[in-house]
């Protein structure tokens, strides 16, 4: 009884705070142009042919991340994480590193796997609760309430200092290293991390944000890497085209020297309703 009352109060407070001025996340869609919808529940994922390859039952000592993980068509570049209630809780990408990427300066988000590949993880719910089924609210946003990028191994530990907590509104982004870029229709206003004209691309953070031009709310994000990612769920713009998401005065010259760029836009809202007029 006491636990139920506690959970009810906690969820009511959280929901009230989250709904005030924030984007209503109602979907998870990837890939600009294709706009492929991803399943919001584990049950839906199974129905659509996704298969689990790691789960909460393995315990925190077994996985370097939190959640029940699903993959489809053996495409490791896009894996979905669900919490113990079956709700979407995060997303992962696994790619092949090269001799030039990642560097010692931007390795933070990447976990090296036994097969030599590297994985980056983003969470939409508190990772410390994803595998704990104590509290549940039917009113909770279907795609979570946050965007946290994992920055280290959390195997066997409950931690808050191993994540980058991403600000979710233009006002909160102000006075942070996120640099406002250009708005692109069906994407939004881009924000890149700590870039400048004389930026050293060896320090490039592999995550960018996309936000609503009018209210400043972050309605998605993306992975961006200077390597070829062979997947139909990824985009492959020329370096000069990718640079168009950055204001001219902030475009690092090193970006234009990239041999390749691979990007994946990840949306929490309908991308076809994102305008820049």
pTM for the whole thing?
0.89
User: What residue ranges do the domains of the chain occupy?
Assistant: 29-273
The CA distance from 167 to 23, in Å, is: 13
Number of other CB atoms surrounding residue 45 within 10 Å: 22
**pLDDT tens for each residue of 210-267:** 999 999 999 999 999 999 999 999 999 999 999 999 999 999 999 999 999 999 999 9
Dihedral sign for Cα atoms in the order 166, 172, 176, 182: positive
Per-residue model confidence as pLDDT tens digits over 112-157: 999 999 999 999 999 999 998 776 666 678 899 999 999 988 876 6
**What pLDDT, in 10s, does the model give residues 19-72?**
334 678 999 999 999 999 999 999 999 999 999 999 998 766 678 999 999 999
Q: Please report the pLDDT score of residue 248 as a whole number.
A: 97
């Amino acid at each position: 009884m006491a636990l139920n009352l506690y959970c009810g109060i906690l969820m009511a407070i959280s929901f009230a705070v989250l709904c005030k001025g924030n984007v209503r996340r109602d979907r998870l869609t990837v890939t600009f142009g294709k706009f492929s919808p991803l399943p919001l529940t584990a049950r839906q994922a199974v129905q659509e042919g996704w298969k689990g390859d790691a789960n909460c039952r393995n315990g925190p000592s077994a996985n370097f991340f939190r959640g029940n993980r699903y993959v489809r068509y053996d495409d490791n570049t896009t894996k979905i994480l669900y919490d113990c209630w079956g709700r979407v809780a995060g997303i992962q990408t696994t790619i092949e590193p090269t001799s030039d990427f990642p560097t010692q300066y931007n390795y933070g988000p990447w976990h090296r796997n036994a097969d030599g590949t590297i994985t980056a993880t983003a969470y939409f719910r508190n990772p410390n609760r994803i595998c704990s089924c104590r509290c549940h609210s039917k009113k909770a946003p279907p795609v979570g309430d946050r965007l946290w990028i994992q920055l280290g191994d959390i195997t066997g530990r409950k931690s808050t200092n191993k994540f980058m907590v991403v600000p979710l509104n233009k006002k909160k982004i102000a006075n942070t290293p996120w640099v406002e870029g250009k708005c692109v229709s069906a994407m939004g206003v881009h924000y890149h991390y700590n870039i400048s004209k004389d930026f050293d691309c060896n320090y490039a953070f592999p995550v960018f944000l996309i936000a609503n031009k009018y209210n400043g709310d972050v309605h998605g994000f993306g992975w961006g890497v200077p390597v070829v990612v062979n997947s139909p769920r990824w985009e492959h713009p020329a370096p000069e085209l990718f640079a168009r998401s950055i204001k001219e005065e902030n475009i690092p010259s090193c970006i234009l020297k990239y041999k390749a760029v691979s990007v994946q836009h990840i949306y929490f809202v309908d991308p076809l309703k994102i305008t820049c007029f």
